[in-house]
Chains A and B, each alone.
Chain A
Amino acid sequence: MSKLAISLTVNGVQRQALVEPNQTLTSLLRDELNLTGTKHGCGVGDCGCCTVILDGETVNSCLVLAVQAQGREVMTIEGLAQGIRLHPLQQAFVDHGAIQCGFCTPGMILSAKALLDRTPQPTRAEITKGLSGNLCRCTGYEKIVEAVQDAAGKMERG
């Protein structure tokens, strides 16, 4: 089957792409659009490294076909910072030591972003539930939770 033409919004920018039917959204972002902040961890939805926000909801982009993003809005980790100014969540992750190897970080931050968009002042239980699809082997999660709490506070105060 020939390639399919799709158009989608990525980080606020309208993009066109020709994709194979069996191409994943991860591959579209990484291989075609060169947005390599989205990571390959397991390919089967077990780890959350490839998390992106699709129309406001987090998804494992390894389990979304690129063609399914037709007409939709995707936010990747590259869409958060304003120029060189980090998004408050990114800054909080940096400040709290919530990043070690960093491989889970883009997905983790996007899960946190989707959580705060929906629940600006989450409880600890809401944070852990919101991040429960993102595995991290380095941090033990404690500093990640602290970072999200801190960012929530700062974002609320504006």
Chain B
Amino acid sequence: MLLPPFEYYRPSNLEQALALLREMGDQAHPLAGGTDLLVNLKLKKLAPKALLDLGGLEELKGSRADGGQVSLGALNSASRLASGGPHVPRLLAMGAGALGSPQVRNRATLGGNLVTARPAADLCLPLLALGARAVLTGPQGSREVSLDGYFQGPGYTVKEPGEILTRVLLEAPKPGQGGGYQKLGLRQALEIALVNVAAHLELEPDGKTIAMARVALGAVAPVPMLAPSAAQVLQGAKADEKSFTAAAQAAAADAKPIDDHRGSAAYRRDMARTLTLRALRQALAQAQGGKEVGA
């Protein structure tokens, strides 16, 4: 399969990249890992005049902790995230490890996954559940956007054409937190989820009461979504099967699935419930410092 002709630019810093973007407008498309963009070019879904390779931008690399905040560069690969590390939340590592295949994980980037904004994106759900914010840098400077509200539709986000997603900000992990990630697909690898769920729990110091929770659902709406009712059910509740079951029920009610060739809306809704329950159990085990249950 052939790539259509395009011009190629590799700016060496963010300022240059933004200038090029300003100059070319929507004629230029930023290129990160390429696992999605190059496929879409080959399938003729996109035909930009130029690709702007972000690979040289140091501003988009690395990870650092700053006070209570973690800042992950948009160019972190899924493999790097999957292998964890001091600043990578375990929930994000779990999602990253479930993405595609080793070859895809080695190329796919944090920023790319967020910008591509597929409804079942394996990095988006953990980030949503973790309450992450995206840093969008444009000609006027940077702005921070909560991921809750960032996704607008399949492939569409609040990012303006002149902006580059440069970093992702997260609260630094604290004791008493735990995450769960559940992905249901046909195959065990090389798979886009039929339904996937990420759950994040924060327990009170008593280790039993839920201080805060977020549940993110994938493939049950046009975008990765948070399940607000589930969070509401969980907040202040006891971390037990009863609350989890109620939260799972609420998550299923929040889901807005449709029928497509991969699965029916009814099945997806039921799976949103089942996977939420499992993700919450997994999150609790992690929060209580136990061994992780079946990732």
Contact = CB atoms under 8 A, between A and B. Distances in A.
A and B touch in the complex (CB under 8 A): yes
Contacts of A81: none
B7 A63 contact: no
B38 interface: yes
Contacts of A4: 8
Contact of B35 (A20, A23, A63, A135): A63
B46 interface: no
A21 B51 contact: yes
B104 interface: yes
Nearest to B83: A118
Interface stretch (A10-18, A53-61, A86-94, A149-157): A53-61
A114 to B, nearest CB: 8
Nearest to B3: A22
Contact of B103 (A21, A59, A129): A59
Highest count of chain B CB atoms <10 Å: which of A4, A64, A65: A65
A63 B34 contact: yes
B53 interface: yes
Interface stretch (A30-38, A41-49, A95-103): A41-49
Given A43-B42, A64-B34, A1 B5 contact: yes
Nearest to A118: B83
Given A43-B42, A59-B103, A68-B53, A21 B190 contact: no
A45 B35 contact: yes
A21 B7 contact: yes
B55 A68 contact: yes
Given A44-B43, A57-B79, A63-B34, A132 B8 contact: no
B146 interface: no
Contacts of A22: 2-6
A106 interface: no
A59 B107 contact: yes
Contacts, number: 89
Interface in A133-149: 133-135
Contacts of A57: 79, 106
Nearest to A19: B8
B103 A67 contact: no
Contacts of B42: 43-44
Nearest to B107: A59
Highest count of chain B CB atoms <10 Å: which of A4, A45, A51: A45
Contact of A132 (B4, B55, B190): B190
A76 interface: no
A68 B8 CA distance: 10
Nearest to A67: B8
B106 A58 contact: yes
Interface of A: 1, 4, 20-24, 42-46, 48, 51, 54, 57-60, 62-65, 67-68, 111, 114, 129-130, 132-135
Give me the 8 closest cross-chain CB pairs, A-B, nearest first. Answer: A133-B101, A43-B1, A132-B189, A21-B8, A22-B3, A57-B106, A133-B103, A1-B7
7 contacts: A22-B2, A22-B5, A44-B43, A46-B190, A68-B34, A68-B53, A132-B102
Given A44-B39, A63-B34, A67-B53, 15 more contacts: A4-B8, A21-B5, A42-B1, A45-B39, A45-B103, A51-B103, A57-B106, A60-B35, A60-B103, A63-B38, A65-B31, A65-B53, A67-B8, A68-B34, A68-B55
